[in-house]
């Protein structure tokens, strides 16, 4: 059936300026890390993308390795671009990344010019695109000169294969270096993509959040819902079909008793704000405008509708923020800590 986007799609979603750039991003963006591989029916993927666009979510985030298998999320999105979004390319911000293992041998991961340029070409082919809007270095590579990795991003932008450059998971110190190199090359760093949520606050303790503000670089916080922990999903046990039952990136070990207690208390605070916990978790990430957009994932269209509703109330009283800090804090669930700085050694075996 031909998809016709909702004529009301721009009525409720706020768009926020990405750092000092000319680009505005929706307060909520959709990532295709999970639920866009060959293990999910194509109709579900279409419904997720259509629901997002209908609710003003104009930004879709991908990476070379999203699947499974790696590459299949970009292929699926390429199909959806053809069937549903062909007439709307200029209303969309599409991103991709390279950094994690994509193909065998020494040129299939990390931060070399060889890998980034080849990977960008492959991503464009899989999605059937002439260009992506944002291309990222997906993680810091301690064994490649930063000048080479940033030089590759600059080359990708200059060759017209991406409009903007971004970095992901780099810590504050490496971010300052990367942003300075890109500036000198004449391709400003548009955006940083770090993990960030109520249970994972490394961007605050590392100083990254302040660094990005000082440098005028925008930011897109991934896993704002802590992969689903910051929703009402796990309050009464582990539901069948949830990410925790899939044995991929979320395990029962990430939900000890104290985290479960914290989630219950957060759920009560959210109810007092007339929000779902997912909505409050997204609003918390977006508070004070320190973060440009919250990058969610979803397995059902109804989750996207719920998350988009966060935009209705993005402000907190000091008492609410203090209540949140009293019941929950950093819970040691940052799976991407090793991708941030010098200790990000590539696997040796």
Q: According to the binding rule CB under 6 A, does residue 222 interact with ligand NAP? A: yes
Nearest to 133 by CA among 165, 158, 167: 165
Tokens for 142, please give them: 């301690």
What residues have CB less than 8 Å from 2, skipping those under 6 apart? none
Rule CB under 6 A: is residue 228 a binding residue for ligand NAP? yes
Instruction: Put residue 239 in one of left, alpha, beta given phi > 0 → left and psi -120 to 50 → alpha.
Output: beta
CA atoms within 13 A on the CB side of 242: 18
* Residue from 227, 259, 275, 340 binding ligand NAP (CB under 6 A): 227
**Which of 168, 171, 175, 340 is in the footprint of ligand NAP by CB under 6 A?**
168
Is residue 166 close enough to count as binding ligand NAP by CB under 6 A?
Answer: no
Q: Using CB under 6 A, which of 225, 269, 285, 311 touches ligand NAP?
A: 225
Separation CA 169–CA 139 (nearest Å): 6
Residues facing 195 on adjacent strands: 222
Under rule CB under 6 A, residue 320 binds ligand NAP: no
Q: Which of 18, 26, 33, 182 binds ligand NAP (CB under 6 A)?
A: 33
Of the ranges 41-49, 157-165, 266-274, 292-300, which one interacts with ligand NAP (CB under 6 A)? 292-300
Note whether 243 and 37 are within 8 A (CB): no
Angle between helices 42-54 and 301-308 (to 10 degrees): 20
267 near ligand NAP (CB under 6 A): no
Identity of the residue, 50 or 160, whose beta carbon is nearer to ligand NAP in the bound complex: 50
Q: Does 307 bind ligand NAP (CB under 6 A)?
A: yes
| Residue where the block lists tokens 């709307």 | 88
List, in sequence order, every residue forming a beta bridge with 60; answer none if it has no partner.
30, 94
Q: Is 340 in the site for ligand NAP (CB under 6 A)?
A: no
- Chosen residue from 132, 179, 298, 328 binding ligand NAP by CB under 6 A: 298
Least Cβ distance, residue 323 to ligand NAP (angstroms): 21
Query: Which C-beta is closer to ligand NAP: that of 211 or that of 293?
Result: 293
Phi and psi based region of residue 247 (left: phi greater than 0; alpha: psi -120 to 50; beta: remaining): left
Which residues are at the interface with ligand NAP (CB under 6 A)?
31-34, 61, 138, 168-169, 193, 222-228, 231, 233, 242-243, 278, 295-299, 303, 306-307, 336
């Amino acid at each position: 059936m031909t998809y016709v986007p909702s004529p009301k799609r721009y009525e409720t979603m706020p768009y926020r300026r990405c750092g000092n750039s000319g680009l505005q991003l929706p307060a909520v963006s959709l990532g295709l890390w999970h639920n866009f591989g060959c293990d999910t029916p194509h109709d579900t993927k279409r419904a997720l993308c259509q629901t997002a666009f209908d609710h003003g979510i104009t930004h879709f985030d991908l990476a070379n390795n999203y699947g499974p298998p790696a590459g299949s999320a970009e292929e699926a999105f390429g199909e959806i671009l053809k069937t549903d979004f062909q007439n709307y390319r200029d209303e969309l911000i599409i991103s991709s990344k390279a950094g994690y293992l994509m193909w065998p041998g020494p040129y299939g991961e990390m931060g070399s010019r060889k890998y980034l340029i080849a990977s960008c070409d492959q991503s464009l082919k899989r999605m059937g695109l002439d260009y992506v809007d944002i291309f990222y270095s997906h993680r810091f590579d301690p064994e490649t000169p930063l000048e080479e990795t940033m030089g590759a991003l600059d080359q990708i932008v200059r060759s017209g294969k991406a409009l903007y450059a971004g970095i992901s998971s780099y810590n504050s110190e490496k971010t300052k270096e990367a942003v300075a190199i890109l500036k000198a090359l004449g391709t400003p760093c548009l955006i940083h993509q770090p993990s960030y949520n109520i249970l994972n606050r490394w961007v605050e303790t590392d100083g990254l959040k302040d660094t990005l503000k000082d440098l005028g670089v925008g930011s897109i916080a991934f896993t704002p819902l802590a992969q689903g922990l910051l929703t009402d999903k796990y309050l009464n046990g582990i539901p069948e079909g949830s990410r925790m039952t899939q044995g991929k990136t979320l395990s029962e070990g990430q939900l000890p008793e104290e985290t479960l207690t914290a989630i219950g208390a957060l759920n009560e605070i959210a109810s007092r704000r007339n929000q779902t916990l997912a909505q409050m978790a997204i609003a918390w990430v977006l508070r004070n405008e320190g973060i440009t957009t919250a990058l969610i994932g979803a397995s059902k269209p109804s989750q996207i509708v719920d998350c988009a509703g966060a935009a209705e109330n993005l402000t907190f009283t000091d008492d609410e923020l203090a209540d949140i800090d009293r019941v929950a804090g950093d819970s040691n669930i940052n799976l991407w800590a090793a991708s941030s700085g010098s200790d990000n050694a590539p696997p040796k075996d």
